[in-house]
Amino acid sequence: DSGVTQTPKHLITATGQRVTLRCSPRSGDLSVYWYQQSLDQGLQFLIHYYNGEERAKGNILERFSAQQFPDLHSELNLSSLELGDSALYFCASSPTDIFNFPGGNEQFFGPGTRLTVL
């Protein structure tokens, strides 16, 4: 158990809908990262937040947005869902970021949320 929690574990929804995935980082970790794992692709970085601020953005679609709240938990919002958005979404956390720790901290991954869009 990494100490990172994600809810829900599974989510089944229809095209065009909007969903929110939630992540609670390990106690004390300030950085939260979101990743997408699709069937035909490896782990893809979506976005990184550090202490409430967006730090880096990857291949995140405009239909997707995220935020990190003052209590450090994070939410990933996916809207106008398409069949291709079906994937495993991971959240990871780390104590700080590369600007504060050379090399970057290792990231601790949550169990993931499996999203199925029908």
Site of interaction with other proteins (CB under 8 A): 2, 4, 31, 33, 42-45, 48, 50, 55-56, 58, 90, 92, 94, 97-99, 102-112
Q: Compute the least distance from the CB of residue 55 to other proteins, in Å.
A: 5
Helix, strand, or coil here: 76? strand
Nearer to other proteins by C-beta: 65 or 96?
96
Find residue 8's DSSP bridge partners: none
In this structure, are residues 94 and 45 in contact, taking their beta carbons and an 8 Å threshold?
Answer: no
Q: How far is the CB of 92 from other proteins (least distance, A)?
A: 8
Measured from the CB atom, is 34 or 81 closer to other proteins? 34
- Using DSSP's 3-state secondary structure scheme, residue 84 falls into helix
Are 109 and 23 within 8 A, CB to CB?
no
